[in-house]
Structure 1
Amino acid sequence: MPVIAQAPAGGREERQGLRPCASSPTPESHMRVEETSAAAEYVQGNEDRELRRLMLQAQVYAPLTEGVLRGAGLRPGMRVLDVGCGVGDVSFLAAELVGPTGEVVGVDREARVLACAQRRAEVLGLPHVRFQQSSLESLPVGAPFDAVVGRLVLMFQPDPVTFVRRMAEHLRPGGVLALHELELAAMGLAHPKLPLFNRVWGWMLPTCERVGIKVHMGLELVSTLRRAGLVVDDGVVGGRLGVTPDAETTHALVETVRTLLPHMERLGVALAMEVDIDTLAARLTAELRSNGGVLVPSLMVGVWGHRPGPV
């Protein structure tokens, strides 16, 4: 698998359609996953602060996701299904590749995130993108799609292989499935060592594991697609390289910690007073500045394959 070096995605809020969904942040988070339960009930909730975090985080993930979609062969005129589309970022990347002669359908269970996605599509001027409230299980198998895509979807599924099989049911024979997941178990690579960053990752990883998130999903993508009956074609690996104190990186990390903090406390992983969430970003930035090292906040893996059968 080739390696893609991730550069900061950047981009103005207006270009990304961020502002239509960014209202006043709320202090509470509706995290519905219980310890050792299936993480299909998305652990990070859908509060305004969380929607904002997801959109900013998507700017970091965009270069690798676009590389996955291009590698998978998305091109003008194709019909694409985006499973677990959230606020629409992957749908918009796909829409750029398939153009106005193509079609992108984004599906998600949450009406609130879909309303946000629809407003963003209107701001971005993408009439060939539409969104539908549905779980994958209840989505009717209608006219098959040329491609089915998803980002950070399988890590929350109790049975990723079965979920991929259901995704493939919506593909035409020869159609492509393209997925982008995190390898959470590899998060936090740094040199020299960064004690506070390591401590934060030491809080996050066991919390994710205990609420049922698949922390090895990135590196399990290939075997998952094969077990689901697809032919794996290729894949990429990438990560954001933090070489200077970076507000975007620390902000995304701190907001993830914020949404996980109630679980950390409930599970006895960390106490709110030791996390000190309101000063965490400043402390992380100061550590990176004084250390002078580099870090890879997350390792991202993208894999694509196709449904067997005559094209």
Structure 2
Amino acid sequence: MGPRNGTSISEFVLLGLASCPATRRLLFPLFLGTYLATLLGNLLVALLIRRDPRLHRAPMYFFLAHLSLADVGFTSATAPTTLGTLAFGSRAVPYAACLAQNYIFIAFGVLENFLLAVMAYDRYLAVCRPLRYTAVMSPGRRWGLVGASWGLALLHALLHTLLLACLPFAARPRLRHFFCDLRQLLALASGDTWPNHAAILAEGSLAVLGPLLLVAGSYGRVVATLARLPAARGWRRALSTCGAHLATVALFYGTVIGLFLRPAGSYAPWRDMVATLLYSTVSPLLNPFIYSLRNQEMRGALWRALGRGPAPLGA
């Protein structure tokens, strides 16, 4: 690679995973199994929603299909590098590949953030404004919300990647992480990183806290509405579903806020790596089960896709 801002850098070196071959052989099947399960679960959800007309027309499942695709992209941003390191012990990542990985990771992470807020708003309308739900959640409105989520996520990632590309680095900088993490890249940069940190605290805070407040407000209204209903059949199940959703939301937002919205002086590489594993691996793995595969409509769509006709009661 040519010189950049007075430095000549061709690659970054990742130090986040175990260097012992025996440990790598132990971790490789664990990471591979988790990644394959994440891909299978999320792609199955997206395919079932796309194939089944009953689900494809429902706004909730329309948003869920995009969330599943976002989970696939989010976990795929880091998994190939991680698996390559564990399988072959190679720790070097080319400069351009590192920037690309950083862009993809941020873009899909922020996209998931926005889609969680859109889904929370959808549930608020369905539970609290049922008479207006069909009119408000028209096909045009659904595509508008999803399109805005994709566009804002891509622009957000582009801003931080362009700012990162302007920074100089020493030759073969070493990252104590399993992928090209933005915070660790900024810690290793030789130039002035004030614009980068300012963008994280200002624009990044809005991108995270705005959807988080919408999620909290929407589900607060949902829970309040359900609590006022008589103890009819199904309301406890609906409340339980919201609770499971909120548990995953808390895992995702808690780790993200802890990583990106704290002062730079509290930077801790190993703590960052563990937190990143939680929200980039565990959350995408669990989302298909929490949001859909425990859902009767999704099980019915799977039963029909297998050619077995209508799903039996309780399936």
Superposition TM-score, scaled by structure 2 size: 0.25
Structure 1 or 2: more helix by fraction: 2
Larger % of strand: which?
1
Structure label with greater radius of gyration: 2
Q: Give the TM-score taking structure 1 as reference length.
A: 0.26
Question: Which fold has the larger relative contact order, with Cα–Cα distance below 8 Å and residues 6 or more apart in sequence?
Answer: 2
